[in-house]
Amino acid sequence: MNTYVERVLQELKEKNGHEKEFIQAVEEVLTSTSIVFDLHPLYEQKAILERLVEPERSIQFKVPWMDDHGRYHVNRGYRVQFNSALGPYKGGLRFHPSVNLGILKFLGFEQIFKNALTTLPIGGGKGGSDFDPKGKSDEEIMRFCQSFMTELYRHIGPDTDVPAGDMGVGAREVGFLYGYYKRLQGMTQPGVFTGKGVGYGGSLVRKEATGYGLVYFVQEMLKANGFGNYKPRVVISGSGNVAIYAAEKALQSGWKVIAMSDSKGYIIDEHLDLNWIKQIKEVERRSLSYYPNYAGHGEYHEGSLYDAHINYDIALPCATQNEIDGIRARNMYACGCRLVAEGANMPSNQEAIDVYMTNGILYGPGKAANAGGVATSALEMAQNSMRLMWSSEEVDARLHDIMIQIHEQCVQACLKYGIDPRNYLVGANIAGLERVIDAMMAQGDY
């Protein structure tokens, strides 16, 4: 490994050893792009990596809120404004009990390179809270969002930092957050938030964009590897925003989706009915265990989908980080899986990635494969600036083009450095990193 990369990683571990997901994300990017630093000694003189791994700003704040019984609770809120070399900080908000600064730094760091791959003018950021939206009433969610925004509003704006959704933050939460931002600012600035409802400044296809974009990316992977017309059997972990619309586009593409999951268990169904999944997860916000009763077919099992022994060609992890370790990756291979593309951020740990690589499983890393969500957020910002709205067909066509060109950038980055073009991990990391470093170098001490 390049000695500069090695030294920066060592210093990072000494300084941030407790932030294990952040270290994991940085280590994955830097070790896979080591060759870039061999060829550019100037980057060390300019301390580009030291500048890249330190967020420009991390904001942490108190979020007190009252439940429906008049009891007070206090959560922590955060916004990590990681890198603005390419444009305003852009990235989602996550509400989940596991959220802490280290998780948001990993997500913010990933977001920098993902956003760079879209080629749109957006920097990287991420935020959220350790608040658990599960089991809360709409009124509790609203009070929490309003308290969260009471601090966040000072730090965001259409030209500075533009949040959106992530786990636990969907259209309902974005509506409450955006509504309160407007009250606090006393003005309407639709471009301050993306993922808004279509009736009040949101873009058509933003809800579907991450999942649709993921399938568009997989279609490119299949074409590039000689499987263009193949109709695979697919499993999708998660049954939230990304998973549901990945399943929808997969089904529209004539693929067979045979399993989906949530945080407690998974369903297997050769005749999967996505409408029932939408009803259970989007409308009723309940467990997937209700699926067999509602649909009248399919089986529910507790535990991880990736421990199951079923036959499939493609896995689309769309739930959360580090869902797949080496043991699960080996089981996936034994199930017939030959392609993994990530709708989630960092769902595969390093051992899992090693299993994919050594067994020839095609691997589409999250920062390339799930970039369709944030890309469509940038299209929402563009529409808001122009004060107009594109049709679904127009947004979808742009999203599709963006995913095709992200795939192409991965391939070209590999070819440039003499690496196997099927190595999407290295391709995505090099293509994203080069764009960010070029912008940082051009802008001086940044």
Closest distance of CB 408 from ligand NDP, Å? 20
| Nearest to ligand 2IT of 2, 377 (CB atom) | 377
Per CB under 6 A, contacts with ligand 2IT among 183-242 are 194
Per CB under 6 A, contacts with ligand 2IT among 42-61 are none
Among 345, 348, 383, 384, binds ligand 2IT (CB under 6 A): 345
| Nearest to ligand 2IT of 26, 374 (CB atom) | 374
Q: Two tokens at 206?
A: 């933003």
CA distances from 91 to 244, 351, 400 (A): 20, 27, 20
Residue 241: contacted member of ligand NDP, ligand 2IT, none (CB under 5 to 8 Å, by partner type): ligand NDP
Closest distance of CB 301 from ligand 2IT, Å? 28
In the 8-state DSSP scheme, what is residue 368?
H
Closest distance of CB 166 from ligand NDP, Å? 5
Q: Two tokens at 284?
A: 């009723």
Closest distance of CB 352 from ligand 2IT, Å? 19
Closest distance of CB 227 from ligand 2IT, Å? 27
Q: Which strands, in side-by-side order, build the sheet including 57-66?
A: 57-66, 72-83, 123-129, 89-95, 161-164
Contacts of 299 (CB under 8 A, 6+ apart): 267, 268, 269, 292
C-beta separation of 395 from 413 below 8 A: no
Active-site option among 105, 126, 136, 367: 126
377 contacts ligand 2IT (rule: CB under 6 A): yes
> Residue 278 catalytic?
no
C-beta separation of 127 from 90 below 8 A: no
Binding site for ligand NDP (CB under 6 A): 165-168, 170, 210, 238-243, 261-264, 318-320, 323, 343-345, 370, 373
Q: What does the per-residue mask of binding to ligand 2IT show for 290-329, with x meaning CB under 6 A? A: ----------------------------------------
Distance of CA 343 to the CA centre of its chain: 6
C-beta separation of 312 from 255 below 8 A: no
DSSP 187-218: S--GGG-SS--GGGTPPTTHHHHHHHHHHHHH
Per CB under 6 A, contacts with ligand 2IT among 346-375 are 373-374
Contacts of 393 (CB under 8 A, 6+ apart): none
Residue 194: contacted member of ligand 2IT, ligand NDP, none (CB under 5 to 8 Å, by partner type): ligand 2IT
What amino acid positions are annotated as catalytic residues?
Answer: 126
